[in-house]
Chains A and B, each alone.
Chain A
Amino acid sequence: MSTSYTITLDINRYDPDTKLSWVQTYRVEASAILRFVDVLRKINDEQDPTLAWSSSCEHAQCGSCGVIVNGKPLLACELLVKDGVGQFKTHTFKLKPLTIAPVLRDLVVDLEKAYDRVHKVRPWLIKPASPHPDGDEYRISPKTLETYSEATRCINCFCCAAACISTHHHFLGPNASMANMVRLMDPREMARGERMDILYREDGVYRCHTAKACSFVCPKDIDVSHFLALGKEGRF
């Protein structure tokens, strides 16, 4: 049998019917290799079926299960109990919902609303380059692709946006800004003017204070601030 830990979870709760908020404490006997989503499921199964949380793919590819654990935004599916204990050097974990959209219940936030930020940067190719003369795909060298392919890995989990010191005020946020950068660096995008308008608009990239929290918290290990820096420098 695997090692297990007795951990304590202090979870921020919110009831949309009564509009009451409170912190509820759960003690869980959890095997070391459980993910935090498994721990939440265990609480539902054994202690409290009303605790609401969110997930979908549960392997860090959809970005539905972002939560704040001991102050750090992360994906609940990615944190194993043993890693949580190791990383935070404690057996007590404070879980709060992400701060980038209204809370629906407990740990579930209205990510649909957060997505409005991403929609604003119009993530499609606004004006695609004319097709290759041979009629098939555009030619893009692996070298060119490599300059921005890391940024295409973003899953819009909004962990970076939750950590960002500017997002909550006047900034579109790191992930949305990076989505615009992808198209600025994509040789197929011809709508450069419009893209730059998005980049430098009032809530654009200059609202970023370069604290680099985004790069530190990104569960996909994307160096988000690097792409924002390229935007500020106009290097694309």
Chain B
Amino acid sequence: MGAALTVDSTLRCDVLIIGAGGAGLRAAAQIGERRPGTRIIALTKVSSPQKSHTTTAQGGMAAVDPKDPMDRPIFHTFDTWKGSDCSADQNVIKKVCDIGWEEVVWLERHGMHFSRTEEGRIAKRPFGGHMLDFGERMAFRACYEADRTGKGIMDTVWAESLKYGVDFIGQCVATELLFRDGQCIGAIIFRYPEGKFLAILAKATIIATGGNTRMYLVSSNCRGNTGDALVLALQAGLPVMDLEAVQFHPTGMVGPGILASEALRGEGAILRNKDEEPFMERYAPTAKDLAPRDLISRAIIQEIREGRGLFHQDHNAHHVWLDLRHLPKEVHEKKIQEVCSFFKRFVGVDPEKDLCPVAPTAHYQMGGIPTNEFGEVQSDSQGIVPGLFACGEVAAASLHGLNRLGTNSLLELITMGRVTGERVVEYLKDATDPEEPPGSRLIVFDQFSTYLNAQGKEKYAQVRDSLRNLMMEKVGIFRTEKSLVEAIEVLTELREMATHIPLGTTSLKANQDLWQIWELNNLITVSMVIAQGALARKESRGAHFREDYPERSDGFNYHTLVYMPQFNEVTFGKRPIDMSIFEAKGEHYELFDYIVREY
């Protein structure tokens, strides 16, 4: 290897945002609006924040319109609690559901191109698990921009951040958080084009790096969703929460798992098995095709296991059908235009005429870096880390508990992004420019040196594919003690192998190989936490399903905290579930107990 690794230069700012996606930039816009002149630096792995993964979100963003005579925030709050299988935090649910509509209006006034009703108002569609009158009937609650709602949101918060002069640094990764006396003072970043390390010192740091499900063979997530920031937190001795809760979206397009939004079922699409039977009627008699995702994903696998699925020759994968043939032409052309084009281009079927092959795809992490309801990162079940905040998919406040309802994530980005931005503005009042960090050797230098000097026979693709198959088979939709114990064993081996993969080139400039090996190590680390959390949670709740413990158990009415400062040196903690609505004993409080979850 060539020259020793060094930090090239140091930048200073007021706020460092690690992850310029929907959540990060909603926070940025809030800070810009409330505290003009704040020096903000926002990082992204892609070339422009506009290309962050939020831009791929399709179906909609839930919010109760106060002018809707039928819907009420308490129904939405209840649906989210029930949808989470009684494991989300009620203070957070209430806060988010109460301010949802304000945020929809904020987006609209800042230029988002929502779809409209004939009266020119924001149009709404039904979505899974969102119902009126505490689960009686379908609600029209998802505000949308055709089937590119995430793009509308991303474009809006990106443009607003540009307006406020946020400095974007693209094509980079934050590789390590910096601390001084327990306070977070910024991060080390690595720039891809020049291959240089920079230190960024900030009064406040917000982590908003999004999802992490690239460790699964079939996943709807973008290439860069590799759980980097979770590893940064773990390395800093901080806990992560509820990582065992991985959402599989029922309808990934057969093959790589490109998402076919729930909006399709919101518009009337029906799941069918090989006999073309609309099988969801058997699993969820009331909600049917709009039952929550965990139920439908398990139902699909059940159909396949019992021989009522189909097999796709080209992709070598099992699937069921999604039927969109009966939907009006107008719907195909205007409301679900993007997804229909994906089916045509990537699968070669025309949803107007053909049945579409779908199967569950790893989609969303409910858990993440634990925060309180203000977006402040927690050091344990109570304490907070000064100067460190988190919001968006990477954070667990927790709005979703162990299962998220569709359209509640975009809602979370925008509401919790704002709330976090607001809290940062408060925090900045007394904050001073941090001093230089203590001069200890950076972890990332050790990691990079290992990768740059590796001489083994292992191959990147081999380790990556083993990981993705392993997680899909053993830590996927269905889990057992046996599968999890096996997975943990293999993960330890893969981790070892990953440090021996020789690089194609040891140049630091635009070295895709080096970058990917760093990401692969992150994926393996996060996979270990998922498997450990899943093994410890001897019950089934939300998206976490244990075949050996198929029922929910009150003994597990808590959030899992996992500390893993070194690989596989795991300590567990617990965070209580916030039951403040139930405890306040107000109207309908009894519905916010640990209720039975049926659809």
A binds B: yes
Which of A21-29, A52-60, A196-204 is the contact stretch? A52-60
- The verdict on A194 contacting chain B, using a C-beta distance below 8 Å, is no
Task: Kindly supply a per-residue 1/0 record for chain A positions 138-154, scoring 1 wherever the CB is within 8 Å of any chain B CB and 0 otherwise.
Answer: 11111001000100110
User: Which residues of A39-53 are within 8 A (CB) of B?
Assistant: 44-46, 48-53
A145 to B113, CA, bound (A): 8
A111 touches B223 (CB 8 A): no
A190 and B222 CA atoms in complex are apart in Å by 37
Q: A1-B313, A45-B461, A128-B109 in contact; A62/B46 too (CB < 8 A)?
A: yes
Q: Which residues of B are found within 8 Å of A209, using beta-carbon distances?
A: none
CB–CB B56/A57 < 8 A:
yes
- Are A49 and B504 closer than 8 Å at their CB atoms? yes
| A111 / chain B contacts, CB cutoff of 8 Å | 47-48, 170
Query: Which residues in B have some Cβ–Cβ distance to A below 8 Å?
Result: 45-48, 50-51, 53, 55-56, 65, 67, 104-105, 108-111, 113-122, 145-146, 148, 151-152, 155, 158-160, 162-163, 168, 170-171, 192-193, 222-224, 255-256, 258-259, 313-316, 338, 341-342, 345-346, 348, 459-461, 503-505, 507, 509-513
Residues of B within 8 A of A115 (CB): 47-48, 50
Whether B162 and A124, one on each chain, are in contact in the complex, defined by CB atoms closer than 8 angstroms, is yes
Does B118 contact A142, Cβ atoms closer than 8 Å? yes
Sample of 19 further A-B pairs with CB below 8 A, known A16-B510, A59-B259, A152-B152:
A33-B255, A49-B503, A50-B505, A56-B45, A56-B224, A57-B51, A58-B258, A60-B345, A62-B222, A112-B168, A115-B47, A123-B155, A123-B162, A124-B110, A137-B108, A137-B114, A138-B109, A142-B115, A153-B148
Q: Are B47 and A125 in contact (CB under 8 A)?
A: no
Q: Which 3 A-B pairs rank lowest in CB-CB distance, beginning with the nearest?
A: A139-B120, A49-B504, A111-B47
The answer on a CB contact under 8 Å between A49 and B460 is yes
Bound Cα distance A61, B339 (Å): 10
How far apart are the CA atoms of A46 and B504 in the complex, in Å? 12
Question: Smallest Cβ distance from A55 to chain B, in angstroms?
Answer: 6
A170: interface (CB < 8 Å): no
Tell which of A88-96, A102-110, A225-233 binds the partner: A102-110
Contact B51 A62 (CB under 8 A): yes
- Given the contacts A17-B507, A50-B505, A57-B56, A80 and B51 also touching, CB distance less than 8 Å: no
Q: Do the beta carbons of A35 and B346 come within 8 Å of each other?
A: yes
Q: How far is the CB of A117 from chain B (nearest CB, A)?
A: 11
Bound-state CA distance A128–B160 (Å) is: 12
Given contacts A50-B504, A61-B338, A62-B46, contact A80 B105 (CB under 8 A): no
For residue B146, which residues in chain A have a CB less than 8 angstroms away from its CB? 149
Closest residue to B461 on the A side, CB-wise? Answer: A45
**Is A195 in contact with chain B by the CB < 8 A criterion?**
no
The answer to whether A44 and B461 touch across the interface, beta carbons within 8 angstroms, is yes
Q: Is A166 an interface residue (CB 8 A)?
A: no
Given A58-B256, A124-B159: A49 and B513 interface contact (C-beta under 8 Å): yes
Report yes or no: B460 in contact with A112, Cβ–Cβ below 8 A: no
Contact in complex: B53, A56 (CB < 8 Å)? yes
Q: Pick the contact of B48 from A35, A55, A112 — CB < 8 Å?
A: A112
Chain B residues within an 8 Å CB radius of A60: 341-342, 345
With A50-B505, A123-B159 as known contacts, state yes or no: A128 contacts B170, CB within 8 Å: no
CB distance from B117 to the nearest CB of A (A): 8
A85 CB to closest chain B CB (Å) equals 14
Q: Is the CB of A138 within 8 A of B47?
A: no
Q: How far is the CA of A119 from the CA of B168 in the complex (A)?
A: 12
User: What are 13 sample pairs from A and B whose C-beta atoms fall under 8 A apart?
Assistant: A45-B459, A60-B341, A61-B55, A62-B51, A62-B55, A62-B222, A104-B509, A105-B510, A112-B168, A124-B163, A125-B111, A137-B105, A137-B108
In the complex, residue of chain B having the shortest beta-carbon distance to the beta carbon of A75 = B345
Q: Are B171 and A112 in contact (CB under 8 A)?
A: yes
Within the complex, the shortest CB–CB distance from B37 to chain A, in Å, comes to 18
A31 touches B116 (CB 8 A): no
Q: Select from chain B the residue with minimum beta-carbon distance to A31.
A: B314
Contact pick for B53, options A1, A57, A138, A152, CB 8 Å: A57
Task: Flag if B223 contacts A32 (CB, 8 Å).
Answer: no
> What chain B residues lie within 8 Å of A71 (beta carbons)?
none
Determine whether A215 belongs to the interface, using a CB cutoff of 8 Å to chain B. Answer: no
Q: Given the complex, which residues of A lie within 8 Å of B152, measured CB to CB?
A: 152
Q: Smallest CB–CB gap between B448 and chain A, Å? A: 16
Q: Which residues of B contact A165 (CB under 8 A)?
A: none
Q: Are A78 and B55 in contact (CB under 8 A)?
A: no
Q: Which of B104, B170, B338, B512 has the most CB of A within 10 A?
A: B512
Which residues from chain B contact A61 at a C-beta distance below 8 Å?
55-56, 148, 151, 338
A66-107, CB under 8 A of B: which get 1 and which 0?
Answer: 000000000000101000000000000000000000001100
Could you tell me the distance between the alpha carbons of A58 and B313 in the complex, rounded to whole angstroms? 22
CA of A143 to CA of B155, assembled, Å: 22
Q: Is the CB of B512 within 8 A of A119?
A: no
Task: Indicate if the CB atoms of B110 and A128 lie closer than 8 Å.
Answer: yes
Q: A45-B460, A57-B222, A122-B163 are in contact. Are A64 and B108 (CB under 8 A)?
A: no
Residues of B with C-beta under 8 A to A78: 345
Q: Is the CB of B122 within 8 A of A137?
A: yes
Q: Does A188 contact B (CB under 8 A)?
A: yes
B46:A50 contact, CB within 8 angstroms: no
Instruction: Judge whether B121 and A137 touch: CB under 8 Å.
Output: yes
Which of B171, B507, B510 has the largest number of chain A CB atoms within 10 A?
A: B510
- Shortest C-beta distance, A119 to chain B (Å), equals 6
Which of chain A's residues have a CB closer than 8 A to the CB of B45? 56
Q: Are B504 and A56 in contact (CB under 8 A)?
A: no
A224 to B46, alpha carbons, bound, how many Å?
25
Do the beta carbons of A156 and B48 come within 8 Å of each other? yes
User: Is A131 in contact with chain B by the CB < 8 A criterion?
Assistant: yes
Q: Give the contacting residue for B504; candidates A48, A63, A112; CB below 8 A.
A: A48
CB distance from B185 to the nearest CB of A (A): 26
Known contacts being A32-B314, A55-B223, is A145 close to B55, with CB within 8 Å? no
The contact of B151 among A15, A54, A134, A155, by CB within 8 Å, is A155
Residues from chain B with a CB closer than 8 A to the CB of A149 are 113, 146
Question: Min CB distance, A15 to chain B, in Å?
Answer: 8
Kindly report which residue of chain B lies nearest to residue A61, judged by CB atoms. B56
